[in-house]
Amino acid sequence: MFHRSHVPLQKWFYAMYLFTTTRHGVPAKELQRQLGVSYPTAFRMSHKIREYMGNLDGEPPLTGHVEVDETYIGGKRPGKRGRGAAGKSVVFGILERDGEMYSKVVPDAKRATLIPEITRQVPTGTRISSDEWSPYRVLRALGYDHNTVDHGAKNWANGDTHVNTLEAFWSMLKRSIRGTHIHVSPKHLSKYLGEFEYRYNRRKRPQTMFADLLASL
């Protein structure tokens, strides 16, 4: 991460500390002000740190009871929201109840895109909750204990079958983008996902976030 960088290590370390002690992220303008570097330098540092956080987080198997869902981020044109909305990036997520999560920018929300992500991250036999989106209907035939809620019918939960935990993460992510970063380009969206996923997966031990970054350098 520091290869060929003209920025002193102390400033890199302080920038990483800032990234691990905020819930909603650090905009490049704030990093510029705090570190006394140019805006282009702060911008590059921000993305290097986000990329590093995402790479460090890894992709552990998700078991127990998991939630799967997609969300749509970005777009500058008003109009249709949700599935099929133009100009938006599709983000897919898998979340283990009381555990970790995995998120990824994907090209679309079709079965051929989403199901391989699930089979790669979630062992067969795992209990999965989703909404009624048709690509998920194949999960039971693939050996998963799959149950759904029908959001189209305003049904948000059937007992502990729901995707509310994952949707809460999506809401936090979108609020942070709107409030802290204003807009995130599709080119860099995966790096922001890595940053927020890193913090979420360490939510029960926030005191280790900074130390984990330093220990892995």
Indicate if the pLDDT at residue 82 is higher than 60.
Answer: no
With 0-12 CB in 10 A as exposed, 13-18 as middle and 19+ as buried, what is 5? Answer: middle
Tell me: pLDDT of 77 over 60. no
Question: Residue 22 contacts by C-beta under 8 Å, 6 or more apart in sequence?
Answer: none
| Span 158-169, average pLDDT | 96
pLDDT at 179 over 60: yes
Report phi then psi at 113, rounded to 5.
Answer: -95, -45
Q: Kindly tell me if the per-residue pLDDT of 80 is higher than 50.
A: no
Q: Does residue 125 register a pLDDT over 50? A: yes
Q: Tell me, what's the pLDDT at 2? A: 64
Q: Say what percent of the chain tops pLDDT 70.
A: 93
Label residue 79 by pLDDT band (50, 70, 90). very low
